[in-house]
Amino acid sequence: MKSVSTNLLPVYPSVSERNFDTYIVEENPGVRYYRHPSGVIVISLDESHEVKTKEVDEIKWEVSQRKGRGVDRSKLELRGKNKNGSLNVFPNTRLCLIHCTDGSEFSIRAGIRGFLVEVNEQQLKENPNLVKIAPRSHGYIAIMLPRGVRAQTDATFTFKKSTLIGKRELKLSSLMGIG
């Protein structure tokens, strides 16, 4: 009886690899952006982020410098087709603070201009280590719509080929509306 070699079986890309383009913003290192053809962007940690080597204790969504005066990102309530109630964010807007068991703290910023639609508060509250274990699926940080998503097409973005990740890297200026 002949044995069948498993390396002859085709390797199919995952759903996220098929449906999302991967981007990085050079001015926001350690964060990876996954863009769906509909324009929705999922934000997660990159493999190079320092959190990947540490044990995550908790993730805080109330990130204002002034206590009690900021917006808790986990309390967003959206209404309607146009996502009324979403938070308008800028590239330097903090999305969350990641607290590690060794006492270190990491601030995750949006990196792009747009509207914050959702944060992954429920799953990351139950298991905060998902942010480093499964960043492409259950461990995403936030979902955003870039500003002017209806007007943006792939032609409006500035790409450069990346030999490191095998996908496209996005320059910050195109998502900020500068370029």
Tell me what pLDDT residue 177 has: 46
Summary mean pLDDT of the chain? 73
In whole angstroms, how large is the CA radius of gyration of the chain? 18
Q: Which residue has the higher pLDDT, 22 or 4?
A: 22
Q: Where along the chain do its domains lie?
A: 17-176
Tell me what pLDDT residue 152 has: 46
Yes or no: say if 54 and 102 are a contact pair by the CB < 8 Å rule: yes
Fold classification of 17-176 is OB fold (Dihydrolipoamide Acetyltransferase, E2P) (2.40.50)
Model confidence over 130-139: pLDDT tens digits? 888 887 888 8
Model confidence over 52-110: pLDDT tens digits? 899 999 888 877 665 655 665 655 665 556 666 667 888 888 888 899 999 999 999 98
**Does the pLDDT value for residue 157 go beyond 70?**
no
Range from 36-40, 64-68, 96-100, 111-115 carrying the lowest mean pLDDT: 64-68
Tell me what pLDDT residue 99 has: 92
| Entry pTM | 0.73
**Does the pLDDT value for residue 155 go beyond 60?**
no
How far is the C-alpha of 5 from the C-alpha of 147, rounded, in Å? 49
Tell me what pLDDT residue 48 has: 85
